[in-house]
Amino acid sequence: MIAGYVMSKHPVVENNDELPAQSQLDDIVGLILAEATSQGASAADAGVSVETGLSVTVRLGEVETLEYHRDQALGVTVYFGNCKGSASTSDFNEQAVRESVQAACDIARYTSEDDCAGLADAELMAREIPDLDLYHPWGLSAEQAIDRALDCESAARELDTRITNSEGATLSSHVGLRVSGNTHGFAGGYRSSRHSVSCAVIGEQDGQMQRDYWYAAARDSGDMSSAADVGRIASERTLRRLGSRSLKTREAPVIFAAELASGLFGGFISAVRGGSQYRQSSFLLDYLGKQVFPEFMHIHEQPLLKKAMGSAPFDAEGVATRPRDLIRDGILESYVLDTYSARKLGMQTTGNAGGVHNLTIDHGPNDLRGLMKEMDTGLLVTELMGQGVNIVTGDYSRGAAGFWVEGGEIQYPVDEITIAGNLREMFLNIVDVGNDVDLRGNTRTGSVLVEKMMIAGNS
- CATH number of the domain bearing residue 37: 3.30.2290.10
Q: What's the pLDDT at 12?
A: 30
Nearest partner of 166 among 156, 174, 176, 180, judged by Cα: 156
pLDDT reading at 9 higher than 80: no
CB atoms within 10 A of CB 11: 10
Say if residue 285 is in the same domain as residue 422.
yes
**Banded model confidence at residue 388, pLDDT cuts 50, 70, 90:** confident
Q: What's the pLDDT at 264?
A: 95
pLDDT reading at 387 higher than 90: no
Say if residue 96 is in the same domain as residue 182.
yes
Say if residue 294 is in the same domain as residue 179.
no
Q: What's the pLDDT at 386?
A: 86
Q: What's the pLDDT at 459?
A: 59
Segment 154-178 mean pLDDT: 97
CB atoms within 10 A of CB 68: 16
Q: Which string of b and e fits 245-265 if b means at least 16 CB within 10 Å? A: eebeeeebbbbbbbbbbbebb
pLDDT digits (tens, 9 = 90+) for 107-162: 999 999 999 999 999 999 999 999 999 999 999 999 999 999 999 999 999 999 99
Say if residue 131 is in the same domain as residue 177.
yes
Contacts of 270 (CB under 8 A, 6+ apart): 276, 282, 391
Mean pLDDT of the chain: 94
Say if residue 54 is in the same domain as residue 143.
yes
Say if residue 171 is in the same domain as residue 315.
no
Segment 154-173 mean pLDDT: 97
pLDDT reading at 16 higher than 70: no
Whether 157 is covered by a domain: the verdict is yes
CB-based contact 51:107 (threshold 8 Å): no
Tell me the residue ranges of DSSP E strands in 223-280. 250-256
7-21, 88-102, 317-331: range with lowest mean pLDDT: 7-21
Domain-terminating residue out of 179, 213, 237? 237
Domain-terminating residue out of 184, 207, 237? 237
Say if residue 449 is in the same domain as residue 315.
yes
CB-based contact 262:438 (threshold 8 Å): yes
Distance from C-alpha of 253 to C-alpha of 386, rounded to nearest angstrom: 21
**Banded model confidence at residue 236, pLDDT cuts 50, 70, 90:** very high
Whether 324 is covered by a domain: the verdict is yes
Distance from C-alpha of 36 to C-alpha of 45, rounded to nearest angstrom: 9
Q: What's the pLDDT at 13?
A: 34
Whether 177 is covered by a domain: the verdict is yes
Burial of 81 (0-12, 13-18, 19+ CB in 10 A): middle
Find the radius of gyration of the CA atoms of the chain: 24
Say if residue 277 is in the same domain as residue 416.
yes
Three-state secondary structure call for residue 159:
coil
Say if residue 224 is in the same domain as residue 250.
no
CB atoms within 10 A of CB 286: 10
Whether 6 is covered by a domain: the verdict is no
Nearest partner of 384 among 429, 411, 418, judged by Cα: 418
Tell me the residue ranges of DSSP E strands in 260-376. 299-301, 324-328, 331-332, 359-361
Domain-terminating residue out of 193, 219, 237? 237
Q: How far is CA 237 from CA 240, 374, 408, 440, in A?
A: 5, 23, 19, 18
Say if residue 214 is in the same domain as residue 249.
no
Question: What percent of the chain clears pLDDT 70, i.e. is strictly above it?
Answer: 96
What is the total count of domains within the chain? 2
Q: What's the pLDDT at 232?
A: 98
Domain ranges, residue 315: 244-459
Whether 15 is covered by a domain: the verdict is no
Whether 16 is covered by a domain: the verdict is no
Whether 1 is covered by a domain: the verdict is no
Alpha-helical (H) ranges within 366-454 are 368-375, 423-428
Q: What is the DSSP letter of 240?
A: T
Say if residue 53 is in the same domain as residue 126.
yes
Looking only at the bridges linking them, the beta strands covering 43-59 and 163-182 are antiparallel
Whether 259 is covered by a domain: the verdict is yes
Distance from C-alpha of 376 to C-alpha of 361, rounded to nearest angstrom: 23
pLDDT reading at 458 higher than 70: yes
Say if residue 313 is in the same domain as residue 450.
yes
